Amino acid sequence: MTKAAPDAYLIIITNPLNSMIPLACEVLKEANKLNARKVFGCSTLDSVRAATFVGEAICKDPKTVDVPIIGGHSGNTIIPLISRSNPPACLEGDDLQKMIKKIQEAGTEVVKAKAGKGSCTLAMAYAASRLIFSILRAADGEKEIVESAYVKSDVMPEVKYLASPLLLGKCGIEKNFGLGKVDECEKKMFCEAMEILKKDIEMGEKFAKAKICEAQKNSKKS
């Protein structure tokens, strides 16, 4: 990619996504081809799940429901901002906690249901196509296109990569909306997720640097 299409959009959906995006960015940076505005981790799948489950709970078509996602793309790092659901979802107490867990563990539930013989392939394909079409519409000049995705970010100094709502434009990410307003429950979840994200990001970066170093050594030998 760095040679054949250095200005292409890169959308990754392969897990572990929290580590894969840092890995990809390190490789692109080493080749001096990193344009972080065009590198996306498709955590959009979490947006799709959140809209589906919340839509069912409030009896609305999921296509008309928006639930911002922040954090990452694994387990407890997935933080659905149900407090900012549009239309509003009046979920509290146990109902709210069950909804959060349902969104966070949706992928695991599919793998269990398939007895380890597959994953949520169609859901991933749908989420990827949704993000791709949103990027293309924005690149074509359509305004106010917002999607949540896991990207290189300066929103929080503690972590270099984060999922958050993004305004898309002609050249990729036009604006990162960051965390926005969160309630106390969401703030607590985010603080807990930060420690997991730090480790996941570090793992991706270390793996990339080790492989780059190995390739450089092999190149000198040949």
Of 72, 36, 66, 73, residue with least CA distance to 48 = 66
Q: What does residue 97 show for φ and ψ, rounded to 5 degrees?
A: -65, -40
170 CB-side CA count, 13 A? 2
Residue 212: how many other CB atoms lie within 10 Å? 15
Indicate which residue of 46, 94, 95, 200 is catalytic.
Answer: 46
Site of tokens 């994953």: 119
3-state secondary structure (DSSP) of residue 53: helix
Indicate the residue type of 184: E
Known catalytic residue: 94? no
With 0-12 / 13-18 / 19 or more C-beta atoms within 10 angstroms meaning exposed / middle / buried, residue 68 is: buried
Contact 202, 20 (CB under 8 A): no
Indicate which residue of 61, 73, 95, 140 is catalytic.
Answer: 73
- Where along the chain do its domains lie? 10-216
Q: Distance between CA atoms of 1 and 63, rounded to whole angstroms?
A: 34
Query: Which CATH fold topology does 10-216 show?
Result: L-2-Hydroxyisocaproate Dehydrogenase; Chain A, domain 2 (3.90.110)
Assigned token pair, 89:
């979802």
Q: What does residue 175 show for φ and ψ, rounded to 5 degrees?
A: -155, 140
Q: Where is 18: in which H helix or E strand? A: helix 17-30
Buried b (16+ CB within 10 A) or exposed e, 156-183: beebbbbbbbbebbeebbeebeebeebe
Contact 64, 55 (CB under 8 A): yes
Known catalytic residue: 46? yes
Peptide bond into 68 cis (omega under 30): no
What pLDDT tens digit does each residue of the chain (222 aa) get? 677 787 899 999 999 999 999 999 999 999 999 999 999 999 999 999 999 999 999 999 999 999 999 999 998 999 999 999 999 998 889 999 999 999 999 877 776 776 666 667 888 899 999 999 999 999 999 999 999 999 999 999 899 999 999 999 999 999 999 999 999 999 999 999 999 999 999 999 999 999 888 888 887 776
Model confidence over 60-79: pLDDT tens digits? Answer: 999 999 999 999 999 899 99
Assigned token pair, 88:
């509003």
